[in-house]
Chain A
Amino acid sequence: GQQVMQIPQYQHVQEGEDFTTYCNSSTTLSNIQWYKQRPGGHPVFLIQLVKSGEVKKQKRLTFQFGEAKKNSSLHITATQTTDVGTYFCAGSRLDSGYSTLTFGKGTMLLVSP
């Protein structure tokens, strides 16, 4: 079945440092989504990438979708303590006429002030 691998599992940075998490799929994706989950909370949708090579920005967050539509990255510039949480990617694949999402296991980000 489809697998979505995410690295690193965990990263601890000082406030102001940059952070990147990577997502790799074993199969070509129709789109990829990113979610953030704060400690004790529920996953919250951040963004969806659809096009090969697509790059989208949300303030300090930059999302990329690979040319082959099998990998993606989330980069946070100058982290803040409010960025703490676990970031999940989720790949969507067209399968037998409908799409299913497969989530990566997430990258937990800890930001020290």
Chain B
Amino acid sequence: IAGITQAPTSQILAAGRRMTLRCTQDMRHNAMYWYRQDLGLGLRLIHYSNTAGTTGKGEVPDGYSVSRANTDDFPLTLASAVPSQTSVYFCASSPTHGAAEYFGPGTRLLVL
């Protein structure tokens, strides 16, 4: 069982480019989340999904979009990347909202 996988592991992206970060879980968890982690700012929630077909905005949603077409996948899209989106992005899932969250290995993104 893999748990949660994220791709790519790391990426260097030119400003203005579109980028999709992939996240897949095989635990059949209902809830999934995207966080960004920046030094000194901790983990901040970007978007979440309590169940397939629904999504919601977190603390820092601007510049990001998500979709949840099925239980397993929760891609995060940066429509037009900006340098302030340089960060480490973690995807997480939990059996239900508010329960323990299981994190993926992260994607390190550098926007130049």
Contacts and interface: CB of A to CB of B under 8 A. Distances in A.
Interface of A: 1, 30-31, 33, 41-45, 48, 88, 90, 92, 94, 98-106
B43 A43 contact: yes
B76 to A, nearest CB: 16
B3 to A, nearest CB: 10
Interface of B: 33, 35, 40-45, 48, 50, 58-59, 90, 92, 97-106
B100 A33 contact: yes
Contacts of A98: 50, 97-98
B42 A105 contact: yes
B43 to A, nearest CB: 4
Which label, helix, strand, loop or mixed, suits the secondary structure of the B interface?
A: loop
A100 B59 CA distance: 11
A51 to B, nearest CB: 15
B104 A42 contact: yes
Which label, helix, strand, loop or mixed, suits the secondary structure of the A interface?
A: strand
B106 A42 contact: yes
B11 to A, nearest CB: 17
A33 B44 CA distance: 15
Sort A-B residue pairs by CB-CB distance and give the 7 closest, nearest first: A99-B98, A105-B42, A103-B43, A42-B103, A45-B100, A92-B98, A43-B103
B105 A30 contact: no
A33 B104 CA distance: 17
B58 to A, nearest CB: 8
B98 A103 contact: no
